[in-house]
A and B are shown apart, each in its own frame.
Chain A
């Protein structure tokens, strides 16, 4: 198959993505007519100033966050599945989200449980900084291990162990903390895409771009990784350097998204499988852009559902992503009778 034969598929994906963006912007707790949505976006006269604010300064950053989070998690899921040649791997197998949740747990619960003062970090960026520091420390640990351990599979197990260790510490912290604090922590763990300032969206976009550049730089080595460590070495891939690049790319993507939007499960694991069902190839030059679009589409759909249009209620994004996505993946696998991996 040459690259041109995928053009129709990509055209359809682009069209679906555009429809999803428009739907996501037009639906929310406040009912805003579609002509006013479009008027706000192109900057012409809107019938109510609060509507314009809601579209431009609340829903638009939320939609962009959804696109970045969906794409970023899907890309890091693809990178991890390829690196470990394991269909069960996802963006968080190296312990990124457990690191972030430990940082946040120390920040919110540590005051009561350990008598820590988090005054240094108070203010609007406190949570984000705490989550970033947590996942960064876990990343350093993983890199330290990766340079020592030759076997990629051992790395996978170590990542899982780090995850168990951090969640154990979080449990102990939770056990000794107040109900209100626990609630705040649980709310963070539900994930949320909305309410980011433009500055926040900007920083997130920068991290996303950096992670994406690293992923594109690793395209060739990713293809060879699929054939096994030994083969990758014979292909002349600079093995440990490429592995490190892939780990750093994943951490940048998954870490920044977790810091800004909380731990969002499922998307990163499922999107690569969904895309492989649609596009039958193992070449990452095709898979990567497809996964980017697929992740964005799925996340936008989930966010639209989580907003529960026209009601004052919203649902936690973390629950919706699995509720919507899991049946789709199961149905596809049952229908195709085999996993394309």
Chain B
């Protein structure tokens, strides 16, 4: 009987102390500091005393669900070495319904889009990348070298991660793009206890907004400051070029995209491609179209509007005039084709055929802008091309 009473009292005091501890955590809640996110609309980062919360508000177009990821530093200076406190913190965070709790900095990670890789490389944490679906898409020399050394394993083809291999690898986090619940293999690895984080960089409409997602990765590695300075460098570079160009009166007209079967797909007016074209001092002929995706048009309407365009930029995968003309005689009708003013990003390929543009362009809008400005106003830019080049004969 005595023992039971003692036990109960002990239990009660434990309970009370737990309650007090969770109060402590709650008090810190109100004093979070928001990091500055100026261009991206899809996420925000808030730092608290013992943890950081990343909130992803637009993981995919039209997402209703807001995702919250809690980051707890592994051995932050001061009071987080107390295991009991960190457990209490985790309990509290779980009760607040966060979607994942991660210990930072991450040691092992799997990303699913090549656009995530430049962020890791710029932050100097490329060695944490352990797996990727379809390695052939990767073109950066640094990561290709790690693939050659068997440091990154192939997790299957296309969109679907190979569930068994991913569970066997057990990364501390998977950074995904896409729509929650639609990728069955992601649901499986999540059930296996591997946190899946949604990265919405591809949803951003602003070129700099896409690049700002480096801050998302910065938080995962406790490198918020580095991410901030890298982004500021990109931003300043971008704005400098934009200001240089803004003074120029002459704005050449621009046509973009190409045909698939008999439908011509080109970027809509609110897309980031259209925005960079405008900032590069171009007059994009479809800048009035609303929306951020691509628009499907008949060849007739494109010819009608774009035949006299001064430049034709990004005709899909084409790298030569001969191939363009042989695929569809209609292509040869455009003035830009006749005057050899077609520029493509399809010439810069990685060892295994992945296009550098698809991997690096969203991270480095400043370099895309510089390339486009060089095409449209060659007298303004002296540096060499990064992504674009003229077509071969």
Q: Do A and B assemble together?
A: yes
A122 adjacent to B65 (CB under 8 Å): yes
Tell me the residues in window 14-39 of chain A with beta carbons closer than 8 Å to chain B beta carbons. 28-30
* Chain B residues, CB < 8 A from A108: 182
Rounded to whole angstroms, the CA-CA distance of A50 and B68 in the bound complex is: 27
Which of A51, A112, A124 is within 8 Å of B181, CB to CB? A124
Considering the complex, give the chain B residue whose CB is closest to the CB of A51: B168
Min Cβ gap A161→B in Å is: 28
Q: Which residues of B contact A (CB under 8 A)?
A: 61-65, 153-160, 162-165, 167-168, 170, 179-182, 184-185, 187-188, 191-192, 293-294, 296
Q: Is the interface of B mostly helix, strand, loop or mixed?
A: loop
Instruction: Given contacts A119-B62, A195-B184, A312-B157, list 13 more A-B pairs with CB under 8 A.
Output: A50-B168, A50-B170, A57-B191, A59-B164, A111-B62, A124-B181, A126-B182, A178-B294, A184-B179, A312-B154, A312-B155, A314-B156, A314-B162
* Chain A residues, CB < 8 A from B181: 122-127
Tell me the residues in window 222-268 of chain A with beta carbons closer than 8 Å to chain B beta carbons. none
* Chain A residues, CB < 8 A from B191: 57, 197
* Chain A residues, CB < 8 A from B185: 194-195
Rounded to whole angstroms, the CA-CA distance of A123 and B181 in the bound complex is: 5
Q: Is the interface of A mostly helix, strand, loop or mixed?
A: loop
* Chain A residues, CB < 8 A from B167: 30, 50, 53-54, 58
Min Cβ gap A206→B in Å is: 20
Is A47 part of the binding interface, using a Cβ–Cβ cutoff of 8 Å?
Answer: no
A313 adjacent to B157 (CB under 8 Å): yes
* Chain B residues, CB < 8 A from A9: none
Considering the complex, give the chain B residue whose CB is closest to the CB of A188: B182
Rounded to whole angstroms, the CA-CA distance of A53 and B158 in the bound complex is: 24
Which of B156, B162, B180, B293 is within 8 Å of A112, CB to CB? B293
Rounded to whole angstroms, the CA-CA distance of A195 and B170 in the bound complex is: 17
Min Cβ gap A312→B in Å is: 5
Tell me the residues in window 157-201 of chain A with beta carbons closer than 8 Å to chain B beta carbons. 176, 178, 183-184, 187, 192, 194-197
Also in contact, A194 and B163, with CB within 8 A (given A50-B170, A57-B192): yes
Rounded to whole angstroms, the CA-CA distance of A127 and B167 in the bound complex is: 24
Considering the complex, give the chain A residue whose CB is closest to the CB of B153: A312
Q: Which residues of A contact B (CB under 8 A)?
A: 28-30, 50-51, 53-54, 57-59, 108, 111-112, 117-119, 122-127, 176, 178, 183-184, 187, 192, 194-197, 312-314
Considering the complex, give the chain A residue whose CB is closest to the CB of B263: A175
B156 adjacent to A313 (CB under 8 Å): yes
Considering the complex, give the chain A residue whose CB is closest to the CB of B131: A312
Rounded to whole angstroms, the CA-CA distance of A111 and B182 in the bound complex is: 15
Which of B153, B154, B164, B294 is within 8 Å of A54, CB to CB? B164
Rounded to whole angstroms, the CA-CA distance of A127 and B178 in the bound complex is: 14
* Chain B residues, CB < 8 A from A53: 167, 192
* Chain B residues, CB < 8 A from A58: 163-164, 167, 188, 192
Which of A111, A124, A176 is within 8 Å of B180, CB to CB? A124
Min Cβ gap A40→B in Å is: 13
Can you give 18 A-B contacts (C-beta < 8 A)? A29-B165, A54-B167, A57-B191, A58-B164, A58-B167, A58-B192, A112-B293, A117-B62, A122-B181, A178-B293, A184-B179, A187-B160, A192-B184, A194-B185, A195-B163, A312-B157, A314-B156, A314-B162
Min Cβ gap B345→A in Å is: 17
